[in-house]
Chains A and B, each alone.
Chain A
Amino acid sequence: EDQVTQSPEALRLQEGESSSLNCSYTVSGLRGLFWYRQDPGKGPEFLFTLYSAGEEKEKERLKATLTKKESFLHITAPKPEDSATYLCAVRTSWFGTDKLIFGTGTRLQVFP
């Protein structure tokens, strides 16, 4: 069964304390992995798309990497405004139809 698992569920960091969020997946035929940021009560905001193992994408303090089994979202020197829930989603082919499977997210809190 196709599955996407994010860890940890919650993460508390001091401002400036770098860390990584994990998204592991077991799917039949990866057709893209997506990272989103979601603030409370709002819709997810698109961050990155990764398509193949070894690919990396960066945006400000965020860097996303992809292997054959997992993706990491590295946060370097985080600031309080980076506090949000980070969602990972994997696109896979399902009976000839593309399907997007979401993880349950990692809730990040950054304290000054």
Chain B
Amino acid sequence: DGGITQSPKYLFRKEGQNVTLSCEQNLNHDAMYWYRQDPGQGLRLIYYSQIVNDFQKGDIAEGYSVSREKKESFPLTVTSAQKNPTAFYLCASSIGSGSYEQYFGPGTRLTVT
């Protein structure tokens, strides 16, 4: 079955530690995205990638980093510079970066204490 997987489902870290969230897709999609979801707010774009070895900052990129070395994979690192890292993180992909629907993974809930 084609889809998007994110791991782990729950992640706990101490303040000051970097943490990497995994996102893999087997849909053969070119574009991939990372969003953050907080209660009472719409999804906010962190980073996106339209093609391998290329990515752009979204609206809230500060304190995050990404890489896109393979078409199938788009890991997100939450660094210690991110001031409020506790959130629900969603990875998505689409056929291209135009007016195409995005398909989401199951999400990773990160808690930093």
- CB–CB A100/B45 < 8 A: yes
From A43, A46, A51, A97, B99 is in contact (CB under 8 Å) with: A51
In this complex, what residue of B is CB-closest to A51?
B99
Could you say which interface size class chain B belongs to? 20 to 34
**Residues of A74-106 contacting chain B, CB below 8 A:** 87, 89, 91, 97-105
B99 and A44 form a contact (CB under 8 A): no
**A31-B107 in contact given A44-B90, A102-B42, A102-B43 (Cβ < 8 Å):** no
Say whether B107 contacts A41, CB under 8 Å: yes
Give Cα A97 to B58, complex, Å: 11
Q: Does A4 contact B (CB under 8 A)?
A: yes
How many A-B residue pairs lie within 8 Å, measured between CB atoms? 51
Contact flag A42-B106 (CB < 8 Å), given A104-B40, A104-B41 = yes
How many residues of chain A have a CB within 8 Å of chain B? 25
Known: A4-B42, A103-B42. A31 touches B99 (CB 8 A): yes
* A100 touches which of B41, B56, B102, B107 (Cβ 8 Å): B102
How long is the Cα–Cα vector from A104 to B37 in the complex, in angstroms? Answer: 10
Q: Is the CB of B102 within 8 A of A46?
A: yes
User: CA A46 – CA B103 in complex, angstroms?
Assistant: 6
- When chains A and B are docked, how far (Å) is the Cα of A49 from the Cα of B92? 16
Enumerate chain A residues within 8 angstroms of B102, measured Cβ to Cβ.
34, 46, 100
With A98-B99, A100-B102, A102-B43 given, name 9 new contacts (CB 8 A). A43-B107, A46-B103, A49-B101, A87-B42, A97-B56, A98-B97, A101-B42, A103-B42, A104-B40
Interface residues of chain B, those whose CB is within 8 Å of chain A, are 4, 6, 40-45, 56, 90, 92, 97-99, 101-107, 109
